[in-house]
Amino acid sequence: MHQGTADPPEFRERSNQKHVPNFLYLALFFLLICINALVAKFAVFSFEISPGISMLYIVVAPMVVFGLWFGMYGAIAAYAGCYIGAGLLSGVPPGVNLYWSLADFWQVIIPLVAFRELGCDPALRSRRDVGVLLIFGFVLNNLAGATWGSVTLALGGEILWAEVVQVWCAWLAGNIIVCIVLVPLMLHFFTPYLRDHELYVRGYWH
């Protein structure tokens, strides 16, 4: 599979030469989990509309951005952060939480794969980059997350089937609003500085 990006040649050359110890990636991974879990818990505590679900799930924006900056470390950290912050600390039963938390994984992995496979620049240097973010980072990923999250809550008996559409609409609308407001700003202004860091991931794992 193609894993090209739109990084400038000097960055690609530097990334080929660097060697980052695995423990640094492990530390980054646990840091991302902690950030995601804490912000997820805050969002659910502050704007809860049903078990584990927030009207303004503000953590979805950094989760998407972390995925584009740190590859699969960011995507898996999104799942773990949701499991702990939005699920475990918010009263979602562990059995349901195991598969329900995949909603946040889908919301991150979809834009990550799109950007990597289509060779887009997370700094949003072109209209094409912005278009891919709009389709895969605002709409399709949040459609997948909202559908998975609301249906699995109903399957797990946490909400009634009659409430699925209401939860789905609130989830989707809130996440899209948060992503539109925060994700482009974070990517455009901080990516050029961050990708010079040794932990910036240009593919999926390095």
Percentage of the chain beyond pLDDT 70 is 91
Residues 77-109: tens digit of each pLDDT: 999 999 999 999 999 999 999 999 999 999 999
The one-letter amino acid code at 101 reads S
pLDDT class of 51 with cuts at 50, 70, 90: confident
pLDDT class of 194 with cuts at 50, 70, 90: very high
Query: Residue 8: is its pLDDT beyond 80?
Result: no
Would 104 be classed as within a structural domain? yes
Would 2 be classed as within a structural domain? no
CA angle 20–105–22, rounded 5-degree value:
15
Residue 150 structural domain: 9-194
Would 205 be classed as within a structural domain? no
Would 46 be classed as within a structural domain? yes
Query: Residue 15: is its pLDDT beyond 80?
Result: no
Output the average pLDDT for the chain.
92
Which CATH number does the domain housing residue 128 bear? 1.10.1760
Buried b (16+ CB within 10 A) or exposed e, 2-40: eeebbbeeebeebbeeeeeeeeebeebbeebbebbbebb
**Predicted model pTM:** 0.89
Residue 120 CB partners (closer than 8 Å, separation 6+): 5, 6, 114, 128, 129, 132, 133
Would 201 be classed as within a structural domain? no
Would 83 be classed as within a structural domain? yes
Beta bridge partners of 48: 54
Would 127 be classed as within a structural domain? yes
- Quote the pLDDT of residue 13: 44
83 close to 56: Cβ distance less than 8 angstroms: no
Number of domains in the chain: 1
pLDDT class of 6 with cuts at 50, 70, 90: low
- Quote the pLDDT of residue 20: 83
Would 199 be classed as within a structural domain? no
Query: Residue 134: is its pLDDT beyond 90?
Result: yes
